[in-house]
Each structure stands twice: as structure tokens, then as C-alpha cells.
């Protein structure tokens, strides 16, 4: 047999290594072998989570808190142990590899196996010293999902509230909300915690912050840039690149060391001899490692990743370095960036500009691309080569997470298949053309209020079940409601609102009817203006019900008066939106154009309306898009008395452009056709107007009716394992 070249022998050894190490770990864990003292080892965290859930539903709050907290901290410790073991074993058995250069045939195979066994033994020994056999077992996809969505903090929020530990409840609420920013109920809870005297500002911390540190640094880098503080921007962008790389390595290490269920034996691509199965396993490992790019590039609470995260950071960094006068640094960063996009014209022009400024030497000492980035790109390209080989020849599926992958990495036969598929799709009617709205609404009905006019209908707004009405409010009414918003803010918060849940560049003030009513009872707001706020919501309901010929009643699902205003001084060159593109009753996945009607989306919302109150601000334009979340189909400039109405489903993705100056106020109203999903808070306010207000409110608060999270614990397998659990608004 001919001597094999090194890359191939390392590759084959690696795939066998994966097969053996994973299999080895799984069987060791299953056999109950334990090394060291069982009491000091980390136990499994999933049974603890289930115990927490059980205690929660039995209302044993002490136990629930204890189990959830343990489960969270043990999971954290296990992840860290895996990373450590991964690093400790990185070179285990490498001395065996030297024989691979000289040996051939079956001896070669044996040395390769020897190397694999050393790694397996190292990993096994390392993990066995810290984690119990049960703790090494894989957890279910349900548990992965629960931790991925931070649902433990959802449980902990109410748990701590029940225990009277408001500080901890607020931290749990905040931590959950960061990953579930459209969860309006939790936002309401947070507002309520903020009004509690015993809860200080430092309570609102993200307990998972460490895992998301690159986003924190990213945002402060953008801020430094927008205030032209280039030295600080350079520091922040460098830090951001480093933390991003570090998170990527943490994630990749889990792919290698975490125990996983072995691929199903009966799946056709998983059958075959040991090489085929080992290849399937190695491809799964590589795909897992590649998927870390997407994982790290997805902000908590977002469905899609930020494209090209690392190259984008390098792009910002070289510009900041140039502006800060660090030309060598700028060239070095640019050369790192060129590793991703070697023929990018802008980068090449910049390189020329920088090197001319530096005296003409583009290769001056100290301007070589960063070693970390070189290694990263080289490794990623090699992984992609193997993955595309597996795709072409071994029936493996792989979704490339990067935009920068050079074409020649993809085998010609695959490119040919993709071209054919693209042509086939381009000949087909687009999804949007085929799309129908199954909401049961049918635009084009009457407008039963004098003075209200239809400014744009479906056709003018390029969509289905959309309308733009004008004249819904008089200027006087707008002024009164705007005054309400201002008085409510100054009554409770001198800093004019909280940070927006959608963008760090804006503040966000929200006021529900019930809160407005309570503030009016305390003398902060004018009672008749609060009634007006309630009445204009009803007006919107009458109009939308009639215009969309709703076949059934429409009940308020939620409404609040919302003002958005920019954070002073950080507005130049903003790329973000005031409200990212979304669909009101499902989670939009623009890449696949799917919309998942499941929690945490407000799945019971059927009809949406936004009633605008003013126009004296910059930006803040409302727009509809296609399902790709990019193609804008219609724009609406807010002004007093203007109401945009639309069915809440996937035919109507929409967003709001950045508010860059002034204060944009609106009253969004959402309706449901289902009586049992109606807004109980609004009803409470209505009851207070008709009955003996104060006492009714206090009784309800005391007995806690309606305070339990309504948990629909059934999980829909059909919905890609996403949880169907929904926590109802919590009355604090
Ligand atoms: O304020 C707007 O124009 C739209 C807000 C919105 O889409 C939402 O709150 O869901
Ligand atoms: Fe919306």
C-alpha cells in the first residue's frame, strides 16, 4: 500500500477518533462506573430541572428555587469542565502521530487507533474526575430547549416573587426577558418590579451575561464609534473579536467533548461499515463545530444570526484603527479581513490607501494578518472541504453558516445542483404571490365613524388585509394623550423611560390602561384623559372590526401607550431599527420564510392596529415587508389620528425605522377572536370605573386570582421541539 499523505491520515484517524471517543464516553457513562468520590462529582442537571418544575407546580417555592438554581449552576459547571477537558486533551496521544509518517497498511491503522484511544482515555479520565456518570449522559432536546430559551428564569421569576425575594425575582425576569424580548407580559412584570421600593436598579442584571459578553462589547464599540472616540472603538472592537473567538472555541469544545446520542443505527446514511459510520460521525462533529458560527452570531432573543459577524468586526476595527492613527494596525486588520474576502475591491483599495499613507509598504513588518484569524480561516476552510465532500459523496446534509466561503470549496456537482434548483425556483410563482391570509378577515368593509377616511387600502399598501385610516383622532385628543404619556413618565421615572427592548439606541416608555388608571387615582394623571385613552382604543376596535369584516367579536388582547425616543448622542450612522421586522402572532424566520405560531410569540393575536399620536420626530417610519424581512412593500409615516390596521399573521411582517430625534408616541392595539385570551387587565380597569374601584382592586390583589402562570405543558413535537408553554401575565 502506498504511503498516505498526512492530511488524509490525520483525517481518517480523526473520524475514527470521534467514533471511538463518543462511543466510549457513552458506554462508560451508561455502565455506572465512577471514579473518585461520588459526593464531590457534578450530578446530572436535567433531573434537577424536572424536580424544580414539579415543585413549582406544587407551589413548593423554596424547593423550586433550590432545584432550578442548582440545575443552572451545575449545567454551567459541566460546560466549563468539558471545555477544560477539551483543552487538557488537545495533545493527548499526539506522539503516536509521528509513526503515521513512516508506517503503512494495517500498522498505520493501529497507530491511528492508538492515538484515538489516548484521546478517548484522556477525555474520559478528565470528565470522570469531575462529573458523575449520570452527569455525562446526553440531555434531551427538551432540556436543551428550556436552557436555550432561558425558561428556567421564567419559572424563577414567579418563584422568587412568591417567596417575597423581589430583587432575585427582578433579576430572573430581566434575564428571561433579554432572551424573549417580545414577551410583553414579562416586560409588564419588569415595569412593576421597577416601581417597587425594595428593588434597586442593580437587580436588573442579566444572569447569563457572561455568555453574551461579545454583544455587550459590540454595542459599546458601536457607541464609541458613533461618538468618534476612535481609541476606545479600537479597544472595544479588538476585545469584541477576541471574545467572539473565545465563545466560538467554547462552543466548539462542547461539540467534541459533550456526550451525544449516537446517530440512529437505522438511518440509511448511518449504516455501512466502520469507516462509513465513522465518517458520518466525524461529519456530524464538523457540522456541529461549524454551527457555532451561527450560534455565536445570534443575539439572545433573535431568530436569525448576524451575517458575517467576524468579518464585520474586522471591518469596523480597521476603520477605527485608521481613524485613531494606527496605520500598521489598520493594515494588519485589513489583511486579516482579506483572508475572508481575498478579492474584495473595497478592502484592496483601502489596503493600498493605508500602505501609501504608511510610505508604500503593504507588507511592512508587524502587518501580517493576525495568527488567530489565519488559523480560524484555515481551519474553517478545511472543515468546509470535508463537509462538502461528505455532502457530495456520503449523503450528508450541511448548511454553510458563512457568506465568505469561496466558490471553489464547493464541488462543481453541488454547484450544478444548486444552479438547477435556483432556476427551477425562479420559474415558480413566489411564495408571496401564492400566500393567502387564513385569518378569516376580509378587508374592504365599512368605516363607521364620521370624519375617518381610508388613505390606503390593500392595493395601495401592496398586501393582504392592511389598511391606513386617517382622522381617527383630533389634534386635541392627540395632545391630551401625549400629555398623559409625559405625566405618567415624570410621575414614575425621571429618566424618561427605560432602554428599549429592541435597540440600545432608544428609550421606551409604556403605559397600560390599568397603570394609567392607578396613576390617576393617585392624582398624577387627569381622570378624563385616562378615559379618553380607553375610549380611543375602543374606537380603533370598532373601525378595524368593521373594515376587516371580522366574522366574530374582537376582544382586546393587549394595548399600551408607547413612546420611543433616541438615547442622546449616539445616533449617527445608526444601522438598527427602532422595532426589528417581525410578525405579531408568530416567530418569523426570514431565511426559511416560515413563521412559527408558538410561544413566545403572542399566538392568540389576530388583528393589529397602531394609532399614531404625533409626527414631530425624525425617523420612526412604519413599514411592511415580504417574508424575507428585507423587501419593503409599503411605508407609513406616522401622524396624529392615523391608524394602520392589519391582520396579525405572516402576511404582514412589519418594523419601524430608527427614531433619531424627538419622541414618537403611538397606541398599539392587538385584538383576539378568542374570548378567553382577552386582556384581563383592561377588564380590571373597566370594572374599577363601574364598581367601587379601590376595594375591588385590593381584594383581587390579595387573593392572587389570576396570578398563576397558565402553563400548557404539552410540547408539540411537530413544531421542531419548541415549547408551547406560555406564561400568562403575572399580576404583581
Ligand atoms: O409602533 C409601530 O409603528 C409598530 C409597533 C409594532 O409593530 C409592535 O409593537 O408590534
Ligand atoms: Fe408589531
Domain count, the chain: 3
Give per-residue pLDDT as tens, 348-382. 988 888 888 877 766 777 788 999 999 999 999 99
Atom of ligand 1 nearest to the CA of 584: 10
Domain, as residue range, for 15? 6-150
Q: Determine whether 520 is exposed, middle or buried from the number of CB atoms within 10 Å of its CB (0-12, 13-18, 19+).
A: buried
Give per-residue pLDDT as tens, 98-145. 777 776 667 777 888 888 899 999 999 999 999 999 999 989 888 988
411 & 484 share domain: no
Distance (Å, whole) CA 449 – CA 539 = 8
In the chain, what percentage of residues exceed pLDDT 70?
84
Distance (Å, whole) CA 368 – CA 239 = 19
Q: Look at the block and give the residue holding cell 496605520.
A: 327
Distance (Å, whole) CA 697 – CA 269 = 63
| Average pLDDT, integer, range 568-593 | 85
Cell of 328: 500598521
**Best mean pLDDT range from 61-70, 113-122, 189-198, 500-509:** 61-70
Q: Is 656 in the pocket of ligand 1 (CB under 6 A)?
A: yes
What pLDDT does residue 691 have? 64
| 388 Cα–ligand 2 center, Å | 40
pLDDT confidence tier of residue 731, bands split at 50, 70 and 90? very low
400 & 505 share domain: no
Task: Pick the closest to residue 128 from 27, 240, 230 (CA basis).
Answer: 27
Distance (Å, whole) CA 129 – CA 34 = 9
- Global pTM reads 0.58
Distance (Å, whole) CA 513 – CA 167 = 26
Q: Is 668 in the pocket of ligand 1 (CB under 6 A)?
A: yes
Specify which residues 554 forms β-bridges with: none
What ipTM does this complex have?
0.99
Which ligand has the minimum distance to the alpha carbon of residue 656?
1
622 & 477 share domain: yes
| 562 Cα–ligand 2 center, Å | 12
Task: Pick the closest to residue 587 from 573, 576, 598, 572 (CA basis).
Answer: 598
Q: Is 622 in the pocket of ligand 1 (CB under 6 A)?
A: yes
Q: Is 654 in the pocket of ligand 1 (CB under 6 A)?
A: yes
Pocket test for ligand 1, best of 181, 584, 668, 670 (most atoms within 8 A of CB): 668
Q: Look at the block and give the residue holding cell 483601502.
A: 350
Q: CA 713 → CA 524, 593, 720, distances in Å?
A: 41, 27, 16
What pLDDT does residue 73 have? 96
Atom of ligand 1 nearest to the CA of 638: 3
375 & 466 share domain: no
Pocket test for ligand 1, best of 188, 579, 624 (most atoms within 8 A of CB): 579
Tell me if 179 is assigned to some domain. no
Distance (Å, whole) CA 292 – CA 211 = 13
pLDDT confidence tier of residue 272, bands split at 50, 70 and 90? confident
Tell me if 306 is assigned to some domain. yes
> Does residue 292 have a pLDDT over 70?
yes
> Does residue 245 have a pLDDT over 90?
yes
Taking the alpha carbons of 345, 351, 354, 357 in that order, is the dihedral positive or negative?
negative
Give per-residue pLDDT as tens, 477-503. 999 999 999 898 877 764 556 778 888
Tell me if 710 is assigned to some domain. no
Tell me if 448 is assigned to some domain. no
| Average pLDDT, integer, range 153-162 | 95
Atom of ligand 1 nearest to the CA of 562: 1
Work out whether strand 506-511 and strand 498-499 pair parallel, antiparallel, or are unpaired: antiparallel
Distance (Å, whole) CA 713 – CA 723 = 8
- 3-state helix, strand, coil split of the chain in percent (to 5) is 55, 10, 35
Angle (nearest 5°) at CA 386 between 385 and 391: 95
464 & 415 share domain: no
Cell of 648: 396579525
What pLDDT does residue 280 have? 87
**Could you give the 3-state DSSP secondary structure of residue 665?**
strand
Distance (Å, whole) CA 50 – CA 44 = 11
Cell of 426: 425562479
Tell me if 433 is assigned to some domain. no
Of the residues 118, 663, 664, 682, only one is catalytic, namely: 664
Give per-residue pLDDT as tens, 419-474. 787 777 666 554 444 468 888 899 998 888 888 999 999 999 999 999 999 999 99
Distance (Å, whole) CA 82 – CA 126 = 9
Q: Is 584 in the pocket of ligand 1 (CB under 6 A)?
A: yes
240 & 126 share domain: no
Cell of 479: 395632545
| 477 Cα–ligand 1 center, Å | 20
For this structure, is 664 an active site residue? Answer: yes
Atom of ligand 1 nearest to the CA of 644: 3
Pocket test for ligand 1, best of 622, 623, 644 (most atoms within 8 A of CB): 622
Cell of 548: 376587516
Angle (nearest 5°) at CA 212 between 208 and 215: 145
Distance (Å, whole) CA 188 – CA 138 = 36
Atom of ligand 1 nearest to the CA of 636: 3
Which ligand has the minimum distance to the alpha carbon of residue 577?
1
Task: Pick the closest to residue 728 from 188, 175, 160, 170 (CA basis).
Answer: 188
| 397 Cα–ligand 1 center, Å | 38
Specify which residues 617 forms β-bridges with: 662
461 & 397 share domain: no
Query: What's the Rg (C-alpha) of the chain?
Result: 29
> Does residue 391 have a pLDDT over 60?
yes
Kindly list the protein residues that place their beta carbon closer than 5 angstroms to ligand 2, a single-atom ion. Answer: 584
Which ligand has the minimum distance to the alpha carbon of residue 648?
2
128 & 268 share domain: no
Among the residues of 649-692, which ranges form H helices?
Answer: 680-690
231 & 307 share domain: yes
Alpha-carbon 238 to chain mean position: 24
pLDDT confidence tier of residue 36, bands split at 50, 70 and 90? very low
Distance (Å, whole) CA 132 – CA 259 = 13
DSSP letter, residue 306: P
| 715 Cα–ligand 2 center, Å | 26
pLDDT confidence tier of residue 693, bands split at 50, 70 and 90? very low
Q: How many CA atoms lie within 13 A of 680 on its CB side?
A: 12
Tell me if 439 is assigned to some domain. no
| 625 Cα–ligand 1 center, Å | 13
Q: Determine whether 52 is exposed, middle or buried from the number of CB atoms within 10 Å of its CB (0-12, 13-18, 19+).
A: buried
**Could you give the 3-state DSSP secondary structure of residue 472?**
coil
Task: Pick the closest to residue 347 from 383, 375, 308 (CA basis).
Answer: 308
Tell me if 121 is assigned to some domain. yes
Tell me if 704 is assigned to some domain. no
614 & 555 share domain: yes
| Helix or strand (DSSP H, E) at 191 | helix 184-194
| Average pLDDT, integer, range 308-324 | 93
Atom of ligand 1 nearest to the CA of 622: 3
Q: Is 610 in the pocket of ligand 1 (CB under 6 A)?
A: yes
Secondary structure (H, E, C), 528-571: HHHHHHHHHHHHHHHHHHHHCCCCCCCEEEEECEEEEEECCCCC
Task: Pick the closest to residue 317 from 376, 234, 230 (CA basis).
Answer: 234
What pLDDT does residue 438 have? 87
End-of-domain residue from the set 107, 124, 150: 150
> 604: Cβ–Cβ under 8 A, 6 or more apart, which residues?
557, 585, 672, 674, 677
| 654 Cα–ligand 2 center, Å | 6
Which CATH number belongs to the domain containing residue 678 in this structure?
Answer: 2.60.120.620
| Average pLDDT, integer, range 517-534 | 92
Distance (Å, whole) CA 205 – CA 209 = 8
251 & 314 share domain: yes
Q: Is 579 in the pocket of ligand 1 (CB under 6 A)?
A: yes
What pLDDT does residue 11 have? 34
| 655 Cα–ligand 2 center, Å | 7
385 & 501 share domain: no
**Average pLDDT value for the chain:** 82
Amino acid at each position: 500500500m502506498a504511503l498516505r499523505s498526512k492530511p488524509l491520515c490525520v483525517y481518517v484517524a480523526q473520524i475514527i477518533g470521534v467514533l471511538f471517543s463518543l462511543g466510549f464516553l457513552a458506554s462508560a457513562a451508561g455502565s455506572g462506573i465512577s471514579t473518585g468520590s461520588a459526593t464531590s462529582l457534578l450530578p446530572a442537571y436535567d433531573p434537577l430541572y424536572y424536580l424544580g418544575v414539579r415543585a413549582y407546580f406544587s407551589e413548593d417555592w423554596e424547593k423550586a428555587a433550590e432545584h432550578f438554581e442548582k440545575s443552572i449552576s451545575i449545567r454551567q459547571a459541566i460546560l466549563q469542565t468539558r471545555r477544560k477537558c477539551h483543552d487538557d486533551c488537545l495533545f493527548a496521544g499526539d506522539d503516536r502521530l509521528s509513526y503515521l509518517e513512516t508506517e503503512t497498511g494495517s500498522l498505520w491503522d493501529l497507530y491511528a487507533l492508538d492515538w484515538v484511544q489516548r484521546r478517548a482515555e484522556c477525555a474520559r479520565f478528565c470528565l470522570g474526575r469531575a462529573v458523575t456518570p449520570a452527569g455525562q449522559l446526553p440531555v434531551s432536546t427538551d432540556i436543551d430547549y428550556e436552557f436555550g430559551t432561558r425558561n428556567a428564569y421564567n419559572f424563577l421569576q414567579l418563584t422568587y416573587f412568591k417567596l417575597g425575594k423581589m430583587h432575585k425575582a427582578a433579576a430572573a425576569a430581566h434575564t428571561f426577558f433579554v432572551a424573549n424580548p417580545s414577551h410583553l407580559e414579562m416586560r409588564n412584570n419588569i415595569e412593576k418590579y421597577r416601581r417597587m421600593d425594595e428593588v434597586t436598579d442593580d437587580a436588573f442584571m442579566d444572569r447569563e451575561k457572561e455568555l453574551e459578553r461579545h454583544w455587550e462589547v459590540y454595542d459599546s464599540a458601536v457607541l464609541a464609534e458613533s461618538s468618534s472616540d476612535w481609541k476606545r472603538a479600537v479597544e472595544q472592537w479588538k476585545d469584541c473579536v477576541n471574545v467572539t473567538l473565545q465563545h466560538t472555541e467554547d462552543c466548539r469544545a462542547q461539540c467534541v467533548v459533550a456526550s451525544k446520542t449516537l446517530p440512529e443505527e437505522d438511518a440509511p446514511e448511518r449504516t455501512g461499515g466502520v469507516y462509513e459510520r465513522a465518517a458520518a460521525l466525524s461529519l456530524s462533529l464538523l457540522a456541529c463545530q461549524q454551527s457555532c458560527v451561527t450560534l455565536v452570531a445570534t443575539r439572545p432573543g433573535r431568530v436569525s444570526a448576524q451575517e458575517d459577524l467576524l468579518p464585520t468586526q474586522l471591518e469596523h476595527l480597521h476603520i477605527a484603527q485608521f481613524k485613531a492613527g494606527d496605520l500598521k494596525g489598520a493594515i494588519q486588520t485589513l489583511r486579516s479581513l482579506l483572508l475572508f474576502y481575498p478579492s474584495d475591491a473595497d478592502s484592496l483599495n483601502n489596503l493600498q490607501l493605508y500602505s501609501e499613507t504608511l510610505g508604500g509598504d503593504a507588507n511592512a513588518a508587524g502587518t501580517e494578518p493576525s495568527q488567530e484569524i489565519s488559523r480560524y480561516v484555515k481551519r474553517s476552510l478545511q472543515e468546509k472541504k470535508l463537509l462538502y465532500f461528505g455532502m457530495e459523496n456520503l449523503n450528508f446534509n450541511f448548511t454553510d453558516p458563512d457568506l465568505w466561503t469561496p466558490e471553489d470549496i464547493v464541488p462543481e456537482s453541488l454547484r450544478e445542483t444548486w444552479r438547477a434548483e435556483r432556476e427551477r425556483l425562479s420559474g415558480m410563482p413566489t411564495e408571496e404571490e401564492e400566500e393567502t391570509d387564513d385569518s378569516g378577515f376580509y378587508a374592504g368593509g365599512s368605516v363607521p365613524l364620521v370624519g375617518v377616511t381610508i388613505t390606503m387600502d390593500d392595493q395601495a399598501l401592496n398586501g393582504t388585509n392592511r389598511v391606513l385610516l386617517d382622522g381617527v383622532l383630533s389634534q386635541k385628543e392627540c395632545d391630551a394623550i401625549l400629555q398623559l404619556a409625559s405625566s405618567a413618565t415624570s410621575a414614575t421615572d425621571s429618566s424618561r423611560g427605560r432602554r428599549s427592548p429592541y435597540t440600545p439606541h432608544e428609550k421606551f416608555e409604556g403605559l397600560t390602561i390599568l397603570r394609567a388608571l392607578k396613576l390617576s387615582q393617585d392624582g398624577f394623571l387627569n381622570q378624563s384623559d385616562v378615559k379618553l385613552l380607553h375610549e380611543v382604543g375602543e374606537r380603533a376596535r370598532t373601525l378595524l372590526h368593521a373594515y376587516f369584516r371580522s366574522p366574530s367579536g374582537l376582544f382586546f388582547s393587549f394595548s399600551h401607550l408607547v413612546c420611543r425616543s433616541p438615547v442622546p448622542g449616539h445616533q449617527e450612522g445608526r444601522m438598527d431599527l427602532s422595532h426589528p421586522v417581525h410578525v405579531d402572532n408568530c416567530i418569523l424566520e426570514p431565511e426559511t420564510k416560515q413563521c412559527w405560531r408558538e410561544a413566545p410569540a403572542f399566538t392568540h393575536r389576530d388583528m393589529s392596529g397602531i394609532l399614531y399620536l404625533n409626527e414631530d420626530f425624525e425617523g420612526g417610519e412604519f413599514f411592511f415587508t415580504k417574508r424575507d424581512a428585507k423587501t419593503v412593500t409599503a411605508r407609513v409615516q406616522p401622524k396624529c389620528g392615523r391608524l394602520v390596521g392589519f391582520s396579525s399573521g405572516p402576511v404582514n411582517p412589519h418594523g419601524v425605522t430608527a427614531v433619531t430625534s424627538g419622541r414618537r408616541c403611538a397606541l398599539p392595539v392587538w385584538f383576539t377572536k378568542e374570548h378567553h385570551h382577552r386582556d384581563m387587565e383592561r377588564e380590571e380597569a373597566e370594572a374599577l370605573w363601574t364598581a367601587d374601584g379601590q376595594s375591588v382592586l385590593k381584594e383581587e390583589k390579595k387573593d392572587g386570582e389570576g396570578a398563576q402562570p397558565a402553563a400548557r405543558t404539552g410540547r408539540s413535537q411537530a413544531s421542531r421541539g419548541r415549547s408551547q408553554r406560555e406564561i400568562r401575565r403575572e399580576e404583581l
